Each structure stands twice: as C-alpha cells, then as structure tokens.
C-alpha cells in the first residue's frame, strides 16, 4: 500500500475507533439512550471525518513532502476510513441492548487497535508489545475518562 494511503487509513482507523468509543461510552453513561448514541456515532463519523481529512490535507501541504495526488489520497482515505470505522459501531447498538452493545464495541475496537498496532510494529521492525500497550492504553484511558464524565454530566444536569 502506498504511503499516502497508509497514512490516511491508519489515521482514520485509529481516530475512528478511539474517538467513537469515547463518545459512545460518554453518551451511554450520561443518557442511556440508543437514539442519542446512534446520533452521536453518525455525527462523529461525518463531522470528524471531514475535519480530520482536511487537517491531514493541510498538514501535508505544509510539509511540502507529497505531490497533490498523494495529498488527496491521504485526505480521501482519512475521511473514508474514519467514516467506516466510526459507523461500524452502529451495528452492535442496533442489534444488542445498549450496555451489551457498548461492551461489544469496546472489545471489537480494542481488537482492531491490537491488529493495527501489531501490523505497524512489524512493518517498522519494532517491538510490538510496546506499541500495542501504548495504543490500547490510550484507548482504555479515553474510555474510562469519558465514562466518568458521562456519569458526572448525568448527575449534575440529569
């Protein structure tokens, strides 16, 4: 896979998983509403998909490393992968009871982060355990923090 596509895919996948899981957990903890969680997932898939794609685009233009074709490849790949990897979490919310869907989404998201971290480590010839622990650790921190923020919001404003 070309570098420009790897950049967009990796960025969109990682951001899609961590950002969406954080949003889902926070919304579930504060509202316990499937409708709100689904709306949040779609909002993050679209708004952050565009925002992060244009951010990658501008960052690559500033670097002056890529030609315009490569910049647009990274831009579009970021949006598509962010949209897909955020939207995929709607499926368990539609199928399962919300608390189960959140748990299933967390496990699935952490599994995907494990796989992308493992592949990245192998490609860079670095120790996979360090990269895996770092990426999964960040995701777990986001999940824990947004859970408690959701509880606080519910208690304070609910």
Whole-number Å distance between alpha carbons of 68 and 6: 16
Domain boundary assignment for the chain: 3-157
Mean pLDDT of 29-50: 97
Burial class (CB in 10 A: 0-12, 13-18, 19+), 59: middle
The structure tokens listed for 150 are 């959701």
Judged against a pLDDT cut of 80, whether residue 1 lies above it is answered with no
pLDDT tens digit sequence for 93-147: 999 999 999 999 999 999 999 999 999 999 999 999 999 999 999 999 999 999 9
Tokens of 35: 């409708």
**93-36-30-111 Cα dihedral, nearest 10 degrees:** 30
Task: With beta carbons less than 8 A apart as the criterion, state whether 146 and 29 touch.
Answer: yes
Nearest to 98 by CA among 44, 37, 145: 37
């Amino acid at each position: 896979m070309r570098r420009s596509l790897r950049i967009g895919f990796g960025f969109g996948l990682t951001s899609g998983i961590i950002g969406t899981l954080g949003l889902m957990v926070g919304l579930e903890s504060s509202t316990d509403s499937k409708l709100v969680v689904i709306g949040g997932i779609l909002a993050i898939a679209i708004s952050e998909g565009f925002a992060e794609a244009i951010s990658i685009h501008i960052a690559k233009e500033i670097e002056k490393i890529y030609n315009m074709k490569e910049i647009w490849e990274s831009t579009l790949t970021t949006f598509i992968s962010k949209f897909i990897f955020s939207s995929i979490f709607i499926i368990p919310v539609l199928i399962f009871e919300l608390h189960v869907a959140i748990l299933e989404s967390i496990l699935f998201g952490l599994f995907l982060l494990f796989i992308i971290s493992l592949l990245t480590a192998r490609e860079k010839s670095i120790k996979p355990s360090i990269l895996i622990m770092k990426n999964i650790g960040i995701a777990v921190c986001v999940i824990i923090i947004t859970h408690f923020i959701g509880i606080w919001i519910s208690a304070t404003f609910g």
